[in-house]
Structure 1
Amino acid sequence: MTAKLPAECETKDDVRAEIDRVDQALLALFAERHLYVTRMAEIKTDPHEAYDPARIETVITKVRERSLELELDEDQAELIWRTLIDWNINFEKGIIAARRRAK
């Protein structure tokens, strides 16, 4: 099935099918990103390294700038990324702490 542009969608089912397609692509990208987050947790040695405020703000600034370029609401994008970052921080801390306990 070929992807349709939004303007080519004629029914709610058309739109839903395209949203489902995009959601699948997003999930695949999140899964790929998670592999890198996992690797970062393997490289870091202290749970406190998981929280890097300067890095977080750099990422958020880039997300907001890119969102504007893509005509996406930058506040919504920031909320999504801050949620993702918070989850990643907790995930990394857990991996690092578990590894340290196992030593």
Structure 2
Amino acid sequence: MTAIKTPADCQTKDDVRAEIDRLDAELLALFAQRHRYVTRMAQIKTDPHEARDPVRIEAVINKIRDRSLALDLDEDQAELVWRTLIDWNINYEKGIIAARRRE
């Protein structure tokens, strides 16, 4: 197994790309894990309108913005990523719930 390099340890573009690829694989695995929870939530909910919970959405976004600042990450960029993810999840949940109700 290759040692993980910090950004400062990366001396070439290939070094940086290898670390980005490694992180992308880890992020993808985490997104897949998160997706399984979203799928479970869709199985629990009974009405497609339950998929969008504005209070919960804003609570999540506020946490993401706060955590981003603590990590020295642009909070607007993080919010955009999470809002996109949340919107996709809402549509996914609605589809599962609606399909189940048609059965």
Q: TM-score, normalised by structure 2?
A: 0.99
> What is the alpha-carbon distance in structure 2 between the residues aligned to residue 2 and residue 101 of structure 1?
51
Are residue 55 (structure 1) and residue 49 (structure 2) matched?
no
> What is the alpha-carbon distance in structure 2 between the residues aligned to residue 3 and residue 91 of structure 1?
35
Give the percent of matched residue pairs that are identical in Structure 1 and Structure 2.
Answer: 77
- Offset, 1:2: 1.1
Q: TM-score, normalised by structure 1?
A: 0.99
Q: 1:36-68 CA distances to partner (integer Å, 9 max, x unpaired)?
A: 000000000000000000000000000000000
Aligned length: 102
Are residue 43 (structure 1) and residue 44 (structure 2) matched?
yes
State the superposition RMSD in angstroms: 0.2
- Paired position in structure 1 for 2:11: 10
Q: 1:79-102 CA distances to partner (integer Å, 9 max, x unpaired)?
A: 000000000000000000000001
- Aligned structure 1 segments of 4 or more residues deviating by more than 3 angstroms: none
- Paired position in structure 2 for 1:96: 97
> What is the alpha-carbon distance in structure 2 between the residues aligned to residue 92 and residue 20 of structure 1?
29
- Paired position in structure 1 for 2:73: 72
> What is the alpha-carbon distance in structure 2 between the residues aligned to residue 21 and residue 67 of structure 1?
21
Unaligned runs of 5+ in 2: none
Unaligned runs of 5+ in 1: none
> What is the alpha-carbon distance in structure 2 between the residues aligned to residue 3 and residue 83 of structure 1?
30
> What is the alpha-carbon distance in structure 1 between the residues aligned to residue 48 and residue 3 of structure 2?
45
> What is the alpha-carbon distance in structure 2 between the residues aligned to residue 71 and residue 25 of structure 1?
20
AA paired with 2:10?
C
